[in-house]
Amino acid sequence: MSEPMISVVIPAYNHERFVGYAVESVLNQTFQDFELIVVNDGSTDGTEAVVQSYQDRRIRYYYQENQDAYNTINRGISLARGSYIAILNSDDIYEKDRLERLYDHCRKHDTLCLFTDVVPIDDHNRPFTDPRFGWNIWHADNREFYFSCNDLYTAFLHGNFMVTTSNLFMSREAAHEVGPFSSLRYLHDYDFIFRMIARFKDRVAYLHDRKLLFYRIHGGNTLGEAAITGREQDMALIEKYMLAAVPPEYREYVMTGSRRLVKLEQELNLVRLQMKAPEPQGVRPAAKHLARALKIWFGKIGKSSSPSR
């Protein structure tokens, strides 16, 4: 086979029920100059049988002992031969013209990394259309913040509106320059897009008017240890990339002040609870208070002279 224009990487793990939809959504693309690299990360169900049931010379299948998603994606990228790399998790689905639209945009606008809006779907491929659905509220808030600031880096500090690794489309050159996905079990996509924007800010784009990915939200998901670990990783990432955007002489101020604001919000919630006053639900009120306070605080710093060393 000659080298394809696009390499699609599917990291697959125990998605016997869904992986067929993912594979077919690639095979049925309007853009056909691709290879499909499926890396089975030690699945214990029928994932392998489903993938190998497709007889298409563009499919390259690999099996490995379980190594977690970020290692699986990194292996798939290392095997890619295309000029562009796309990722698709084994339970998500591409819109039929996704590759064509993203490839054309990159070529016309000299873009190195691109992502679109998404459609959330359930286990039966039905879209979640109710605007009151929790995920839709979260995503709409992140999108609105992006439109208000019109800056990708700032907007990602507010929330991960790329949503998933399945949404990444990038040049192989850019992927290699940014480096492998980090060893974060839940937020490797979030860390990766921060690094991509930091390296190629003016060549990363968000097609906010195109819903070219179906992102699966499983009905069986429940709160557990993952919810705690994910949020701990989220906090660490936000601190890391917030400080990276601040001049070194101000970083200690920002870190100390932001941590104090979070602690104050926790104390306020405890006081409200003790007084039996109505308490705001969720983390968004705290985030809004923090964002507002930081905005005021940064404004004061900008007006003041630099501190003596």
3-state secondary structure of 181: coil
Residue 154 is predicted with a pLDDT of 96
Residue 181, pLDDT > 50, answer yes
> Which has the minimum average pLDDT: 95-109, 142-156, 254-268?
254-268
- Comparing CA positions, the residue from 121, 103, 120, 99 lying closest to residue 112 is 103
φ and ψ at residue 249, rounded to 5 degrees: -70, -15
Q: State the chain's mean pLDDT as an integer.
A: 90
Among 14, 15, 58, 66, residue whose Cα is nearest residue 35? 58
| Residue 51 confidence (pLDDT) | 98
Task: Say what the pLDDT of residue 306 is.
Answer: 44
Residue 234 contacts residue 190 (beta carbons within 8 Å): yes
Q: Please state the pTM of the whole predicted model.
A: 0.85
Q: Classify 155 as helix, strand or coil.
A: helix
Q: What is the pLDDT of residues 251-278, one digit of tens each?
A: 999 999 999 998 998 899 889 888 875 5
The CATH number of domain 6-216 is 3.30.10.20:
no
Structure tokens at 127: 């879209």
pLDDT at residue 224 is higher than 80: no
Query: Tokens 């600031």, residue?
Result: 149
Q: Which residue has the tokens 């913040």?
A: 145
| Residue 222 confidence (pLDDT) above 90 | no
229 vs 181 pLDDT, higher one: 181
* pLDDT at 29 exceeding the cut of 90: yes
Provide the CA 292 distance to its chain's centre, in angstroms: 25
Give me the residue spans of the domains in the chain: 6-216, 246-303
Strand-pair partners of 8:
36, 86
- The pLDDT value recorded for residue 303 is 52
Tell me what pLDDT residue 307 has. Answer: 42
Single-letter amino acid, residue 116: T
